[in-house]
Amino acid sequence: MGTHHFFFLFLFFILLVLNFDITTAQISGFVSLDCGGQTNFTDNLGLDWTPDNQIIYGITTNISVTNETRQQYQTVRYFPADNRKYCYTVDVKSRTRYLIRATFLYGNFDNNNVYPKFDISMGPTPWATIVISDANTIESQELIFLASGSTVSVCLSNATTGQPFISTLELRPFNGSIYLTPFENQFFLSVSARINFGAENEDPVRYPDDPFDRIWQSDLVKKANYLVDVAAGTDRISTSLPVYTGKDEQPPQKVMQTAVVGRNGTLTYRMNLDGFPGYGWAYTYFAEIEELGSDETRKFRLVLPGEPDVSKAVVNIQENAQGPNRLYEPGFENISLPFVLSFKFAETSDSTQGPLVNAIEISKYLRISDGSLDGAVAASLVSGYKLSDWAQEGGDPCLPVAWSWLECNSDREPKIISVKLSGKNLTGSIPNDLTRLTNLEQLWLDGNALTGPIPDFSGCPNLKIIHLENNQLSGELPTWLADLPNLSQLYVQNNLLTGEVPSGLLNKNLVLNYTGNDSLSKGSNEGRRNRNIIIGLAVGAAALFLGFITSCLLLHQRKTHPKTEPKHSVPVTNNATTEADQSFTLSELRNATKNFENKVGSGGYGTVYYGKLNDGKEIAVKVLSNNNVYQGKKEFQNEVTLLSRIHHRNLVQFLGFCQEEGTDILVYEFMHNGTLKEHLYGPLARERGIKWLKRLEIAEESAKGIEYLHTGCVPSIIHRDLKTSNILLDKNMRAKVSDFGLSKLTVDGTSHVSSVVRGTLGYLDPEYYISNRLTDKTDIYSFGVILLELISGKEAISNESFGSSCRNIVQWAKMHIESGDIQGIIDPALGNEYDIQSMWKIAEKALMCVQPHGNMRPSMSEVIKDIQDAILMQRGVETAAREGSSDEMPRHTILNMGSLDLMANDQDLSIDESFARPGPR
């Protein structure tokens, strides 16, 4: 006991020490990598440098450049001039704005005097081409970006001359928002010029004068076409008085204490703008640092050739900044600029003093690449092999060039089409992530030490070539292999596979080698069929029954469950037909509802009553109001037929109908926990609100129900009235989508159908409302609104909740999210019990869903993927789940853990007890 005590104290102490270390490192958050360096050191500015020895690629070497004594410039790391990319991956804090700087001092490291030329990229986004033109001059590139994940990668590639190399990589976090732009989710800011006018000498101003270590270039530096054509009468001035600059990322005081003045009335400059022409972000920084007499004024305009609008605004620094020695910072968030920029400040006719400028900053917008479509899956895949070289290539799997063991197609958002991991010493089971590369054409895993069964690749219909030979794979050769339409080569020899080769494979025209599996036999087709019948029976009537009553074609069903194919079936009963016309009598329903005594809800289309059938089954009885949508018996029957075809665990189960005495009644399973709406706001919410994780799960479940309507049924079904009162919760708080009263079969083969606009205010897709064109993107809009409600706990439309100018959750949330203020919309009832990153993930997806134009909105399956990612973040069990899946765990266990890799299977007909139970009659 005593020792235990001591041990815990000791542990606590260690944790304390560790914690301390981590926090001091994070206070500044600076990362300064000395590429090719060997030791840690602190430079004379006080910056802490670390060697880049975590990167396993490249060669380090010493260089020597006259007059360059800084230690970080005594070494470089260089890479082979091949077709690969070489990446540095640096940890960042998501939703933080950063400056990243890469520098390159060639120094003739290869004794070749061939000046290298190569590309750098920021993840998948091409950043710049580095062109060395002098062995002793440092080339530098800077980007300002908002981190969207937990790491960023800077990659070197495409060596057109010489060998790619790098000297330093520096990361500096910002903590304010002057670099916030409305476009920062689509564009990086590539810094082109940051100039300190009137500088004391040629040295740049940087850390520690600038706490963010921006480099403010001196205007005295001599280089080609840099600040030339200076107007006569340009004076350099400075002050030693403090200049008030505000507390954000405004230029440091030292920069603002110097300036140039145009004594003859103008200031003129011409310079080359790296990276332009293009659209840019350009800011000017002014502070009145001369003492002006009471009768003196300094008023001037900016003049840009070809931009007459720009010169309309008059700058009067003292007035604009409300006093001397204070910063005034007008700028352009989006302006088109040329490569050769000439600019002029000219005094106005009523000004007594010439123009003055302290600093300017110009950046170019660089469009962020979305990266390859399989990026997340690939990241998940390699994270399971942290120690293997092949898993450490970093960056995007396909862009700007693919990892060495992958091939990608040339789509704008490329997809992985080939995985070649032959002989990589892989152990454990075949990673499930591979099955999520749905465009895969070739899979090479031969010559490893892989064990366990072959996972389900039926979701990769393009597979042509599969090499699994020379491993220790066990289990049967799966039958879905025979259903891969393009499969032409299958090598599984020298494994430990058992059972029989599926007859479908033997009958298929393909190269198949399964020798060297001692317990795998060719078998007879006869034996196989018999066995399948037995399995079919054992799986239970339920599966077969479902197989037939559902005419909604499940896209994956046939592939993943060949056992339910007719040829394996037991004789078909007429379950199918009895289910479809499951009619109740009115008296039966009167009985069940005690003469419609217990009203549990009402909507635009009728009133819902609680009922209990004679066999104890609880039901919800929806009595449609008279002016209902069904004009006659036929339409009603059509609707009912539609409803009877829809089976999914996240859709409220339709049990039957009744049409008597002019009343139309629909009968559904009873959902004990009511509507999502009640749980988000209202008395129930106050009593026991639902936590963020549960909200995410509800979002996932209802999204799956909707996805099924969109993609699981042929023809697909658009719900048209999604809202929180149409998402119901069963007794286990599992969400199901209800009310298909408005659903309408879409016309097969056309992308939209026109009909009368129906829906609920606040959830209604504006595009649909205006154009009357109904597509599945109409549901996506409504679902986006539901996501915003889950985040905020606020109703879609409200006169009070959103302040005076706004009644609508979409407008309100958009405003907050886009300005980075997510806290402003989070439901206070959630307290602090949520992961901010998972919150961001959902918030951003929600905004995508409510884009004004349908074609900009994601599909339901994309939405599901992000919700699942958010769930993983929230659970913090991403690694646990992955480790779990590498064991031979039964699939359903993985599924219950909410693992992200089973989307295909989620479309299965679940053997849900509500299905398996006999119907109400």
Secondary structure class of 442 (helix, strand, coil): strand
Q: How far is the CB of 198 from ligand NAG (least distance, A)?
A: 18
- Pick the binder of ligand NAG from 42, 160, 614, 641 (CB under 6 A): 160
Hey, how many other C-beta atoms are within 10 angstroms of the C-beta on 9?
A: 10
Minimum CB distance to ligand NAG, residue 516 (Å): 6
Contact between 327 and 245 under an 8 Å Cβ cutoff? The reply is: yes
Residue whose C-alpha is closest to residue 226's, from 271, 276, 273, 275: 271
| DSSP-derived 3-state class of residue 379 | helix
Q: For 119, how many CA atoms within 13 A lie in the half-sphere containing its CB? A: 17
Nearer to ligand NAG, 27 or 232 (CB): 232
Pick the binder of ligand NAG from 439, 448, 493, 495 (CB under 6 A). Answer: 493
Q: Which is nearer to ligand NAG, 129 or 404 (CB)?
A: 129
What does the alpha-carbon distance between residue 400 and residue 118 come to, in Å, rounded to a whole number?
A: 12
| Least distance to ligand NAG, CB of residue 752, Å | 39
Compute the chain's Rg from CA coordinates. 33
Contact letters for ligand NAG, residues 814-833 (x by CB under 6 A): --------------------
Q: Which stretch binds ligand NAG (CB under 6 A): 58-66, 454-462, 582-590, 790-798?
A: 58-66
What's the DSSP call for residue 424?
S
Q: Toward ligand NAG, which CB reaches closer, 230 or 685?
A: 230
Alpha carbon distance 480, 458 (integer Å) = 6
Q: Which of 19, 26, 39, 755 binds ligand NAG (CB under 6 A)?
A: 39
- Told to check if 61 binds ligand NAG by CB under 6 A, we report yes
Alpha helix positions (H), 105-202:
none
Q: Which of 8, 15, 26, 40 binds ligand NAG (CB under 6 A)?
A: 40
Q: Which of residues 344-363 bind ligand NAG (CB under 6 A)?
A: none
Q: Binding to ligand NAG by residue 400, rule CB under 6 A?
A: yes
Q: Site residues for ligand NAG, window 423-482 (CB under 6 A)?
A: 425
Query: Least separation, in Å, of the C-beta of 495 and ligand NAG?
Result: 11
Alpha carbons 785 and 472: distance in angstroms, whole number: 50
Angle at the Cα of 637 (from 636 to 639), degrees rounded to 5? 65
Q: State residue 475 phi and psi, 5-degree precision.
A: 85, -175
Q: Which of 64, 129, 614, 750 binds ligand NAG (CB under 6 A)?
A: 129
- What residue has token string 């706490």? 211
| Cα–Cα distance, 206 to 584 (Å, whole number) | 80
Residue 49 or 657: the one with the smaller Cβ distance to ligand NAG is 49
559 in a labelled binding site: no
Query: Do 451 and 471 meet the contact criterion of CB atoms below 8 Å apart?
Result: yes
Compose the 655-684 pattern: x for residues touching ligand NAG by CB under 6 A, - for all others. Answer: ------------------------------
- Residue closer to ligand NAG by CB (options 513, 879) is 513
The stretch among 267-275, 336-344, 508-516, 626-634 that binds ligand NAG (CB under 6 A) is 508-516
Nearest partner of 637 among 613, 657, 662, judged by Cα: 657
Structure tokens belonging to residue 46: 């006080």
DSSP letters, 255-270, are HHTEEEEETTSEEEEE
Using rule CB under 6 A, residue 516 touches ligand NAG: yes
* Letter string b/e over residues 27-63, b meaning 16 or more CB atoms within 10 A of that residue's CB: ebbbbbbbbbbeeeeeeeeebebebbeebebbebeeb
What is the per-residue DSSP string for 654-710? Answer: EEEEEEETTEEEEEEE--TT-BHHHHHSSHHHHHSPPPHHHHHHHHHHHHHHHHIII
Residue with tokens 């993930």: 841
Q: Identify which of residues 19 and 515 has a Cβ nearer to ligand NAG in the complex.
A: 515
- Identify which range of 217-225, 511-519, 648-656, 894-902 contacts ligand NAG by CB under 6 A: 511-519
Instruction: Tell me which of 62, 521, 578, 598 binds ligand NAG, using CB under 6 A.
Output: 62
Binding range to ligand NAG, per CB under 6 A, among 249-257, 294-302, 509-517, 591-599: 509-517
Dist CA 592 CA 571 (whole Å): 34
Query: For ligand NAG, which stretch binds (CB under 6 A), given 59-67, 96-104, 638-646, 752-760?
Result: 59-67
Rounded to a whole number of angstroms, the minimum distance from the CB of residue 16 to ligand NAG is 18
Q: Which two tokens stand for residue 166?
A: 């790098």
Residue 598 backbone dihedrals phi, psi, to 5 degrees? -105, 95
Which member of 513, 551, 574, 811 binds ligand NAG (CB under 6 A)? 513
Distances (CA, A) of 272 to 127, 132, 225, 227, 359: 18, 17, 6, 8, 17
Q: Between residues 66 and 855, which has the closer beta carbon with respect to ligand NAG?
A: 66
H or E element in which residue 811 lies: helix 809-818
> Which residue in 82, 151, 166 sits closest to 120, CA to CA?
166
Q: Tell me which residues in 572-601 interact with ligand NAG (CB under 6 A).
A: none
**50 is an interface residue for ligand NAG by CB under 6 A:** yes
Among 3, 23, 24, 66, binds ligand NAG (CB under 6 A): 66
CB of 139 to ligand NAG, least distance (A): 15
Is 430 or 651 the residue whose CB approaches ligand NAG more closely?
430
* Piece of 3-11, 102-110, 512-520, 822-830 that binds ligand NAG (CB under 6 A): 512-520
Secondary element (H or E) of residue 847: helix 836-849
By beta-carbon proximity to ligand NAG, the closer residue of 358 and 493 is 493
Cα–Cα distance, 596 to 612 (Å, whole number): 11
**Across the strands, what pairs with 61?**
76
> Tell me, what amino acid is at 226?
Y
Among 3, 23, 44, 67, binds ligand NAG (CB under 6 A): 67
Q: CA 403 to CA 134: how far, in whole Å?
A: 31
> What distance lies between CA 217 and its chain's CA centroid?
36
Q: Nearest distance from residue 399's CB to ligand NAG, in Å?
A: 9
The SS3 of residue 401 is coil
CA triple 854-855-858, angle to 5 deg: 85
- Binding mask 596-635 toward ligand NAG (x if CB under 6 A, else -) reads ----------------------------------------
The region of 60-68, 669-677, 741-749, 811-819 touching ligand NAG under the rule CB under 6 A is: 60-68
Structure tokens at 843: 């918030």
Which lies closer to ligand NAG via its Cβ, residue 233 or residue 323?
A: 233
What does the block give as tokens for 746? Answer: 């879409």
Within positions 239 to 268, which residues make up the interface with ligand NAG, using CB under 6 A?
264
Catalytic residue numbers, as ranges: 721
| Count of residues that interact with ligand NAG, criterion CB under 6 A | 21
Tokens (6 digits) for 95:
């939703």
Site string for ligand NAG, 224-243 (x = CB under 6 A): --------xx----------
Which of residues 423 and 876 has its CB atom nearest to ligand NAG in the complex? Answer: 423
HSE, CB side, 13 Å, CA atoms: give it for residue 826.
20
- Could you give the string, one character per residue 101-120, with x where binding to ligand NAG holds by CB under 6 A and - elsewhere? ------------------x-
Q: Which of 72, 103, 125, 158 binds ligand NAG (CB under 6 A)?
A: 158
CB of 398 to ligand NAG, least distance (A): 12
> Do residues 713 and 690 lie in contact, with contact meaning Cβ atoms separated by under 8 Å?
no
CA 433 – CA 384 distance, rounded (Å): 10
Of residues 232 and 756, the one with the C-beta less far from ligand NAG: 232
Among 62-70, 196-204, 288-296, 882-890, the segment contacting ligand NAG (CB under 6 A): 62-70
Residue 239 CB, shortest distance to ligand NAG, in Å, is 23
Residues that bind ligand NAG (CB under 6 A): 39-40, 50, 61-62, 66-67, 119, 129, 158, 160, 232-233, 264, 400, 425, 493-494, 513, 515-516
Give the annotated binding-site residues for ATP: 622
Give the annotated binding-site residues: 622
